[in-house]
Amino acid sequence: MRRELAMLTRDFRQYVQALEGPGRDEGRRPETAESRPPAVPLKSLDELCEEAQSCVRCGLCKTRRNVVFGEGNPNADIMFIGEAPGRDEDLQGRPFVGRAGQLLTKIIEAIGLTREEVFIGNVLKCRPPGNRDPEPEESAACMPYLEKQIALIQPKIICALGRISGQLLLASRGRSLASMRGNVYDWGPDGKVKLIVTYHPAACLRNLQYKRPVWEDMKRLRDEYRAMGGAI
Ligand code: URA
């Protein structure tokens, strides 16, 4: 338990260091040699994935078959972040490979991209039994992995898929999906990452009326990316 706590503290410190970087000192207390945390370099994405494979930070490690770290371009400009692996993903160790995943692939292709060009991941790396909503302690335990993934990949745009992912990325528990979508948020410590929240592809499969708003959100994402010079 003490070791787990030490790892979490170290992870958080590394994450904050990676995000702060040079030139973000305005308004911050000046550091002295004593107060400066030791410079611990961030792991590579592969090393982080390796670490996640043996994660026991929450009880989901007891029921998972595979850790689903995420996949795609390690330098992707665009990240899609879902909630948690489902049954197919747990069996294969890959994100969004079931029916919802097939729809996500089509959505990505509809804006002129491929799965290989973007990065696809989840807030939780392990499947909650029966696909139940993540418990707060599970998302808290897993969030440092996602934060480090974002710090390493440095996407320009993040698309949160579904209510849980939107709530966790916007740190606003209890907010409805409808109230989160339709905006482009300036996200991250310097507000330079654009965040778009849209319906989860699984919700689109259950409710066909969500397909139109998702398409509107994807056009918004495409327009944002084009405005940044992205060629899609
Ligand atoms: N739903 C998710 O949120 N993520 C997956 O990887 C699959 C289904």
Q: Residue 126 has what pLDDT?
A: 98
Cα(43) to centroid of ligand 1, in Å? 25
pLDDT in tens, 12-39: 444 434 433 333 332 233 333 344 445 6
Q: Give domain status of residue 217, yes or no.
A: yes
pLDDT in tens, 160-191: 999 999 999 999 989 999 999 999 999 999 99
Q: Residue 42 has what pLDDT?
A: 83
Q: Residue 27 has what pLDDT?
A: 29
Q: Give domain status of residue 23, yes or no.
A: no
Q: Residue 26 has what pLDDT?
A: 29
Per the structure, the count of domains in the chain is 1
Pocket test for ligand 1, best of 64, 71, 89, 102 (most atoms within 8 A of CB): 89
Ligand 1 site, residue 138, Cβ cutoff 6 A: no
3-state secondary structure of 37: coil
**Residue 130 has what DSSP assignment?**
G
Q: Give domain status of residue 174, yes or no.
A: yes
Low-confidence ranges of the chain (pLDDT < 70): 1-40
Q: Give domain status of residue 26, yes or no.
A: no
Q: Give domain status of residue 161, yes or no.
A: yes
The whole domain housing 69 covers 2-18+42-227
Distance CA 36, CA 55 (A): 29
- The CATH number for 88's domain is 3.40.470.10
67 dihedral zone (left: phi>0; alpha: psi -120 to 50; beta):
beta
Q: Give domain status of residue 48, yes or no.
A: yes
Q: Which atom of ligand 1 is nearest to the CA of 94?
A: 6
Q: Give domain status of residue 30, yes or no.
A: no
Q: Residue 9 has what pLDDT?
A: 45
Alpha carbon separation from 54 to 1, 11, 19, 60, 125 (Å, rounded)? 15, 15, 25, 12, 11
